[in-house]
Structure 1
């Protein structure tokens, strides 16, 4: 009887496996021929056999997972037979007795190469690789080898996120955090906006379950009212569009839970105060020739009926995003004074938005890899990886993510060539985007015919002419305003090369000077010089000699400790290491307060009992789920585990002397402009009150000025004094302040 039950269960499972396989084949985005289906069947048979004795944590047969991943690849991403076959076998080499050689022998080098890339990622993930570690660069390098590796990995991650409830809570948190950090931005970059939204929502579900549940519940509660509003809105437009003889479909959709949550945080408001909780999409039929004409015709009809917000017009039809996304986004004032986003796109554009990369293959005749914007981006990733020695892992990952998610601006050369840059890019970023040599020798830029410095922030539509000089070289302060990874890595590489060359000169100078002081240059002397001049390494010593920071007088002082009577006496003095402890200890006693983050904020915290940090220790903060910030020593036994597995929870922390800490504050001033106003303002702050001005920015229009002044103050009473004095200045009508974020 028991055997019959087991056989019956196995038969049901086999039927379910067969059903899922057929369902996957039925919903492929690309049209499959006989050869394609034969290849996919061969891959399925191998995967079924390889995984026959394996089960997932849910208790299901393991083969369910590869079939579901293949289904996402085939339907939601829309790739062809090669990728579907690779998706079915993506875990075979990692988890079974099959080798990469077996796969290559049976399926050829192309599929073997894709599976090799996916296997490398799986191995790294199983090692609990931190997203801020050197190993993560290897993962990204693997991703950049073939665009299909990225896409199948996104599908794999999506299915894992859909079935994440079977995992332990700590694993859920790690996988969800990694997903929001790297896989959702990757999906965005691949043009897979639906998948990106689902990954974001699922990540929020596990990282902030209460927030997610609250928003989801409220969306359900307001669903009926929202659907009624969408119906009334669309009926008003539909009639006018039909009168014009247009063929179209109108869809209304809710904004994702994640995007609503992000708006609530950004605007510091509740769910009820977020009005644009949904968008209307008008998808029209058109041939390629008339697409743009019809889009603007629909724009004209919509804005005739509803008043548009000109600041919220987004034209990605005239200039598509670098992901290939094309659409016209209009925000209009709908019934009941609510802002409504209307997206206008053709059926072709909608398919591009739904399937991203795969749709480009379908619509681009004679498609070539080098023509793809995605492959252009892949090349940028490789370029970033090639320059990885110029940046640490954390900085690399930050730059990588910035380049995935950054909003774009479009800038023209004098000849009319178009370049896409992330928002916030400077003239120098543009110079490096054209060519590394142009960036290295860039002096300034003419933006729309007017001369600006290298740091000038560019805007969409600017026409930029770069001015170069063969005498110009990269400078350290360039790193303060470049934002693209290419510019940062090239500047750092140039600075490091220049420093190495200067250090080599400094070494030669030092050897000569030491010889003059009767001291032989050797490894021990180099170490003694490092200790004496308190430098990180020998290269810094050589560099300081070359630049004159370590001069003849300093070297003579060093030499006195190495020879003659002074040297003899020095033998009986405490060693330099001991001396340094003695001199630093009183300083340590002044450290009485902890600050957190790049802006050194004072936040509530607890000291960890596992390492018991005290004032002056090198420490870091760890943001716990329920108990706020817990402070650990950097050499705490748990530090490695925390950094490796939950690096996203780590916050920078340090001890300070609270009596001497300066706080940054921003003052906002507004009023009537007059000659000498700025002079009066700076005189009050700097001269009368002896406060340091960090920056000042005042703009004037039609006799009215607005200004922002950043100052460093000791305490609130000093800040209040500045505010009182400024209110008395002639012309200033309003003074307010906000601490810097």
Structure 2
């Protein structure tokens, strides 16, 4: 078992004596604080913080991170306050420990919500000091290594959380060794049988392949020596979880995956990487389209390497990664590989450290915009997918986006305002749909328009967490302003029936009613009315504190006028498809706002006399927009029938949204058309044109 003396000896290789002594002091403090506490395995509790510090020592982390690792459970598991730690070890250590400490036991509705809140708090701490996440990852890694003492259900829950969040974070920060261990330990805990079987199969295959691996390794080493280049050739093992994912995701047999031989060539300079690439391409024939240059364009986590796939002897596929020693170190330990806290504060972070900073900044932005912790964590998970596409701005700047991203994701990655006002895009100078997935190497240009707003349909195809969060946020704001406007009209209408108006009400009366409803401002009350959560006439009577209001506001002589510009808070019922000119009635649906039905619609016949739910409506004179209406056309069957109907509707300035056809018998066809029109007069014009067609027997408007 590792002891503090062993750790101190290891640390003395890269930390000075005073720093090692500070780490020792933190250990003794933690030992005292956790005195009498035990882990589930029966070991003294202090063995856990010590193990976490050892994990960080492997990555050559600074002394403050190691002290935080020693003390990371002190605030949560013992009675010691953050202030006491600050007095003993200074503010930066206390802040680090506080950031790593889990949330105090709060009463959340679900475990998922508790985890999400927990992660949110960690994101805040990461923004202040990125070392928080490194200590947290070390803590999680040791917990994963000692999972077997927990019950099956708890093991699976922790493993799932690790695979979904902590492994991708390690990958995002370029910490490949930790990422691989997280995945393999998580896999073993989630699916013990599958893990064991794949492990046994890998062991079996490794024995059979040994000779061939040695041969390939020899030929690569000779090739480098022949060209006068120094480099180290090492065989590369696939980890269990990646084998399992490929078998599952790509539907490949185990043998197909293991038939590929992986090697890594490590050299001293970047220039040598490209020379080695030329040499191995001379030795074996390369696979077309399987070369990737991550040195010129690094991955989002800072990973750099050349990747190529070759046809080896007897057609065996060989995957080769070529990189420098520095890149190898960075690939293993990522952001922890060249810890910048050793350098002066003024020095700008670069490489993977700058990218990590950028990512944390993005996470913080997601958090500020997200509606709740669960929405936040859903967006972070989207953002943690390791696959990227690399596209160019018109000025040649490279943008990294998650795989499957669209022009809308790109627009939000450039700037939130560009995303919000985006109306179209050009991909490689051709106009393209906003929903088209982007491919690496494409140049994307966004067309914006002042006053444009995000479209709710974008949520169906955007991939990045940033885009999704900002679209939702904008729609919430848009919906709120529309709800407030509709609520104001509804309340003023109800007040008008009582010979009053919002402007005439005394401020004291408003304040009193707002206090009763526990609302902070008038806009909140108007939003509630617009969203259908409160009835306008009930609020009006409360504001006037009078019982002389009519019992049924449906007897009102002045129905509310609909303009067609109310946006997200006004919906037109799909059952009866009302259009301007039709007699209409409004149904207030909680959370959705107002749904407009035909006055004769059967679906609301039972609710018509309920003043809590229904309100009389009329169409304003200046109503705008296009409204869908369903027509049933019976006509004699003839060739080119649909084209003829489409041409006739277009000739009357209408537009066919949807069409379906049934043959009643060999002679007569029944066509269902959904046509968009401006009002009843326009609809009459469309029907008149259709009636004039040869062979049309009957046209009816379909209603509920």
Whether TM-score is above 0.5 comes out as yes
Correspondence 1:162-173 to 2 at 5 A: 162-173=145-156
Q: Deviations over 1:300-330 (max 9, x none)?
A: 2222222222333221101111211111111
Report which stretch shifted further, 154-163 or 337-346: 337-346
The answer to whether structure 1 residue 274 and structure 2 residue 294 are counterparts is no
**Distance (Å, rounded) in 2 between the aligned partners of 1:532 and 1:89:** 52
Q: Compared with structure 1, are the counterparts of its residues 266 and 336 closer, same or farther at alpha carbon in structure 2 (3 Å cutoff)?
A: farther
Tell me, which stretches of 5 or more residues in structure 2 are unaligned?
A: 502-512, 517-525, 537-559, 573-579, 589-603, 615-642, 647-658, 664-669, 673-704
Which protein shows a greater Rg?
A: 2
Q: Which residue of 1 aligns with 2:157?
A: 174
Q: Deviations over 1:160-203 (max 9, x none)?
A: 11111111212211111111111111111111111111111111
Q: Compared with structure 1, are the counterparts of its residues 337 and 537 closer, same or farther at alpha carbon in structure 2 (3 Å cutoff)?
A: farther
Q: Which residue of 1 aligns with 2:474?
A: 494
After TM superposition, the score normalised by the length of structure 2 is 0.70
Q: Which residue of 2 aligns with 1:206?
A: 189
Q: Which residue of 2 aligns with 1:301?
A: 279
Q: Which residue of 2 aligns with 1:147?
A: 130
The answer to whether structure 1 residue 66 and structure 2 residue 67 are counterparts is no
The answer to whether structure 1 residue 344 and structure 2 residue 322 are counterparts is yes
Q: Tell me the CA shift for residue 112 of structure 1.
A: 0.4
Which residue of 232, 244, 266 maps to 1:261?
244
Q: Tell me the CA shift for residue 466 of structure 1.
A: 2.1
**Distance (Å, rounded) in 1 between the aligned partners of 2:530 and 2:493:** 16
The answer to whether structure 1 residue 378 and structure 2 residue 360 are counterparts is yes
Q: Which residue of 2 aligns with 1:8?
A: none
Contact 2:260 2:319 in 1 (8 A): no
Correspondence 1:206-225 to 2 at 5 A: 206-225=189-208
Q: Tell me the CA shift for residue 277 of structure 1.
A: 5.9
Q: Which residue of 1 aligns with 2:290?
A: 312
Q: Tell me the CA shift for residue 573 of structure 1.
A: 10
Q: Tell me the CA shift for residue 139 of structure 1.
A: 4.3
After TM superposition, the score normalised by the length of structure 1 is 0.67
Aligned residues: 551
Contact 2:260 2:317 in 1 (8 A): no
Q: Compared with structure 1, are the counterparts of its residues 277 and 169 closer, same or farther at alpha carbon in structure 2 (3 Å cutoff)?
A: farther
Correspondence 1:20-35 to 2 at 5 A: 20-28=3-11, 31-35=14-18
Q: Deviations over 1:520-541 (max 9, x none)?
A: 89999xxxx99999966779x9
Correspondence 1:128-527 to 2 at 5 A: 129-130=111-112, 135-136=117-118, 137-276=120-259, 279-286=262-269, 291=270, 293-361=271-339, 367-369=347-349, 372-389=354-371, 392-514=372-494
The answer to whether structure 1 residue 119 and structure 2 residue 101 are counterparts is yes
Q: Tell me the CA shift for residue 29 of structure 1.
A: 10
**Distance (Å, rounded) in 2 between the aligned partners of 1:512 and 1:325:** 61
Q: Compared with structure 1, are the counterparts of its residues 386 and 544 closer, same or farther at alpha carbon in structure 2 (3 Å cutoff)?
A: farther
Q: Deviations over 1:113-162 (max 9, x none)?
A: 01011123575799984268652433443444421111111111111111
Q: Tell me the CA shift for residue 276 of structure 1.
A: 5.0
SS of 2:447's partner is strand
**Greater percentage in helix:** 1
Q: Deviations over 1:334-393 (max 9, x none)?
A: 34433222111110100111111122436997643487110111100000000012xx54
**Distance (Å, rounded) in 2 between the aligned partners of 1:171 and 1:53:** 24
Q: Compared with structure 1, are the counterparts of its residues 549 and 122 closer, same or farther at alpha carbon in structure 2 (3 Å cutoff)?
A: closer
Q: Tell me the CA shift for residue 217 of structure 1.
A: 0.8
Contact 2:490 2:530 in 1 (8 A): no
Q: Tell me the CA shift for residue 448 of structure 1.
A: 2.2
**Distance (Å, rounded) in 1 between the aligned partners of 2:488 and 2:373:** 34
Which residue of 78, 85, 99 maps to 1:103?
85
SS of 1:437's partner is helix
Q: Which residue of 2 aligns with 1:715?
A: none
Q: Compared with structure 1, are the counterparts of its residues 79 and 278 closer, same or farther at alpha carbon in structure 2 (3 Å cutoff)?
A: farther
**Distance (Å, rounded) in 1 between the aligned partners of 2:340 and 2:90:** 24
The answer to whether structure 1 residue 546 and structure 2 residue 605 are counterparts is no
Q: Tell me the CA shift for residue 106 of structure 1.
A: 1.2
Contact 2:62 2:342 in 1 (8 A): no
Q: Compared with structure 1, are the counterparts of its residues 241 and 506 closer, same or farther at alpha carbon in structure 2 (3 Å cutoff)?
A: same
Tell me, which stretches of 5 or more residues in structure 1 are unaligned?
A: 1-15, 559-569, 581-675, 680-684, 693-741
